Amino acid sequence: MEGVTYRLQLNPALTPTRGYFNFPVAGAINAAASSNSLGYNDIVDVIDNSDDNFYSDEKFRSRLSDQNRINVTAHTDILSFGWYKGKNFWSVNVGARVDLGAEVPKSMFDFLRDMDQQDAVDYQNMDYLIKHENLEINSYTELGLGYARPINERLTVGGKFKILLGAGNLKLRVNEIQVRSSINDDPDVPYTWLNSTASIRVDANLESSYKGMKLRENEEGYIDEFDFNGFGIAGYGAAVDMGVSYRLLPKLTFSASVLDLGFISWTKGSTNYARSETNRTYYYTNYHEFEDIVQSGDVLNYDLLGLKIDDSQSKSRTTSLHSTLVFGAEYSLLNNWLVLGALSTTRMVEPKTQSELTLSANIRPRNWFNLAASYSIIQSAGKSFGLAMKLGPLFVGTDYMFLGSNTKSVNAFLGISFPLGKKKASGT
């Protein structure tokens, strides 16, 4: 929508019609959740894990893929405003962002279901192999300064430089978990069950950077809890957004941008490393410990992982932001009353890059009143649509309409923006 400051988040060259001041905190909120297989309620269940029986539900299991990916993101501008100085457009923002990406294999849910049905579990020759379970969380505050300028009547370029204050980052990579057990229970041979054994073999590593966070170990030296003793700045970094807009014809405009091209360097004092290359064996005398571990019902089970602090890795670390490529096109009709658009976005997120193609139609009866409808093809598998509205200072919308608990992609954005200063010069 023309005149909506949200466009600047997609491309710093797409300047609004005039300066603006966004309402603090609630001036530009954007939240999204998506999965390649799971519905909205499934995502909540996996993250919250308060209902420990969801993985036994047959409807839930029918939606599972071999690898089930989840992405959740939330962003808000705590303070943001922009203004024109001649032909130049300047903008300032202080924002906060949290990104979560997770990958859970179907074999993990199979394991949880079978362990929950403990009376039916056949501990003889039990063998589970779980591979590629991943979790990444990244949160930071950004201080941004943006600048855009028309080069000529057709071409506008823009950019934003951002200083990043890292609140925290966590990366967990579980390469492999193997759980085996063997119960010798020959009725013809007395006490053969005394020779029963079980084993848990794990290959995993953890990197975390949070101010005030400590990894708590149990009596056996395995990490079983994260302790947070306050929050603070755990790292510093920088990033840039770059964009361009080109009016090929009087009614046809193309645009392209790259967003969040940057890094955060996490301090040594805030960083912890942990590693698991364990092969734990259990016998009759401590078999109950094995049962307690495998029957916990947790998707992320630290007792199962058996992570230990790796003191040899006491050092700072650097992580890259998840950059985004955006390409757009707009064609105006009926004296700019109707605008047809196409938008391609590619987000280099973990655990897998996400691409989307969105088609839209926007009607502009008045400067203070706009309506838009959109259709996104890829992430929702063509089963969702979007709506947006600008009404005076209020802007609200979604690219993926919530259509019930099985909705795989859902998002919402809310903005409250007040005009500031003069309109941009005509012809720019």
CB 182 within 8 A of CB 196: yes
CA 258 to chain centre: 18
CB 39 within 8 A of CB 406: yes
pLDDT value at residue 405: 80
pLDDT value at residue 425: 62
Q: What angle do CA 280, 286, 290 make, to 5 degrees?
A: 55
pLDDT value at residue 45: 80
CB 239 within 8 A of CB 162: yes
Q: What angle do CA 110, 114, 118 make, to 5 degrees?
A: 165
Structural domain boundaries of the chain?
7-423
- Whether residue 360 is predicted with pLDDT greater than 70 in this model: the reply is yes
The residue assigned the tokens 């919250």 is: 48
DSSP codes joined into one string, 146-169: EEEEESSSSEEEEEEEEEEEEEEE
CB 112 within 8 A of CB 119: no
Q: Which residue has the higher pLDDT, 322 or 428?
A: 322
What contacts 363, CB < 8 A, 6 or more positions away?
A: 337, 338, 339, 370, 371, 372
Alpha helices in 248-357 (DSSP H): 287-294, 302-305
pLDDT one-digit tens code per residue, 210-231:
998 888 888 888 998 888 887 8
Listed ranges 180-184, 265-269, 366-370; the one with the highest mean pLDDT:
265-269
Continuous segment of H or E residues that includes residue 39: none
Instruction: Give the bridge partners for 240, in sequence order.
Output: 161, 261
Strands 354-366 and 338-347: what pairing?
A: antiparallel
Which letter, b or e, does each residue of 222-254 get, where b requires 16 or more Cβ atoms within 10 Å of its Cβ? bbeeeeeeeeeebbebbbebbbbbbbeeeeebe
Lowest mean pLDDT among 80-94, 164-178, 278-292: 278-292
Three-class secondary structure of residue 190 per DSSP: coil
pLDDT one-digit tens code per residue, 368-424:
899 999 999 998 877 889 999 999 999 999 999 988 888 889 999 999 999 988 776
CA atoms within 13 A on the CB side of 257: 30
Three-class secondary structure of residue 263 per DSSP: strand
Three-class secondary structure of residue 192 per DSSP: helix
pLDDT one-digit tens code per residue, 103-133:
999 999 999 888 877 654 556 678 999 999 9
Burial class (CB in 10 A: 0-12, 13-18, 19+), 22: buried
Strands 126-150 and 386-391: what pairing?
A: unpaired
For 327, the token pair is 């390409």
Continuous segment of H or E residues that includes residue 394: strand 394-398
pLDDT above 70 coverage of the chain, percent = 93
> Virtual CA dihedral for 365, 371, 375, 376, nearest 10 degrees?
120
Q: What angle do CA 319, 323, 324 make, to 5 degrees?
A: 165
Q: In 3D, which of 259, 70, 98 has the Cα closest to residue 168?
A: 98
pLDDT value at residue 4: 77
User: How many residues would you count in the chain?
Assistant: 428
Burial class (CB in 10 A: 0-12, 13-18, 19+), 162: buried
For 20, the token pair is 């603006």
For the entire predicted model, the pTM comes to: 0.90
pLDDT one-digit tens code per residue, 33-47:
999 998 888 888 887
